[in-house]
Each structure stands twice: as C-alpha cells, then as structure tokens.
Amino acid sequence: MLMVRVASTRLRPIADVSAQMSWLEKVTLTDGRSFRQLVELPLVRSHNPSMAFAWTLVHEIEDGSPMLERLRGDGEFRLTVTVSGTDTLLASQALGGETYAREAVLIDHEFADMMDDSKDTLEFDLTKLHDAHPRVG
C-alpha cells in the first residue's frame, strides 16, 4: 500500500472533500530519449464527506506491480497529492496539495498515532502528522 496522511490546519471541518494521488516518473526509451509520465493512482477512498482531523489516503499496490519495483529501487519519481473541499464556515473552496520526492517515501513504515484518548477528552496532535515508524511484523 502507498499511503499519505493529510490534515486541515483550519479550526473547523472541511466538507465534501475529494483527493487525488498521482505518480510522476521519468521514463527513458531504448534510444535514450526520455519523457515524464503522469499516472493517476486510484484511491481506496477518494471522497470524505467531512474532514475534521486527518485523513489517510490509500492506494493499493498489487504484488509484482512495476510500481512496487520502482518504489524499492532507485528510480526517479514524484508523488503528487491534491485535496479540495468546502470550508464549512466561509462556504468557500479550500484547496491543498503537496509533491513528495523519492527521498520522502518510506518503505515498510506506518504512521504514528495522532489521537490521544488517555484523558477525559480526545486530543489530536497535528505535530505528528508526518511521523512514521518501521512496521513491525
């Protein structure tokens, strides 16, 4: 699986949120010419009715996929994520996006928990948005 976690920095939920993930790689032909190829990656869930905290976008990668080989190899690629929705207070469009270089993609890792319910209230720690640790097992 290829996962990216996104969150809103606004203090209110974003409604009718949609997300897209794309893979941009450099392809070199046998004659030496090269070009960039953009491939839209289908998400397990590309729509969220209301994003109040974080949302983990997931693209399933099948075993034996050329993409999996490129992720584990040393090929050049970029991962692009765009998110859009409606600000629930201002009723205006909210847009966001990020491009991740190869160095930012971690293999066999999982995201750290951002939610703490050990107290009487549920706390959400946005500083842990990008925290990840090696997957166990």
Residue 97 identity: G
The closest of 89, 117, 111 to 7, measured between CA atoms, is: 111
> What is the reported pTM?
0.81
The closest of 42, 79, 40 to 58, measured between CA atoms, is: 42
Give the percent of the chain with pLDDT over 90.
Answer: 34
Q: Which domains does the chain have, with CATH numbers?
A: 2-108 (2.60.40.1400)
Q: What are 33-60's pLDDT values in tens digits? A: 988 888 899 999 999 999 988 899 999 8
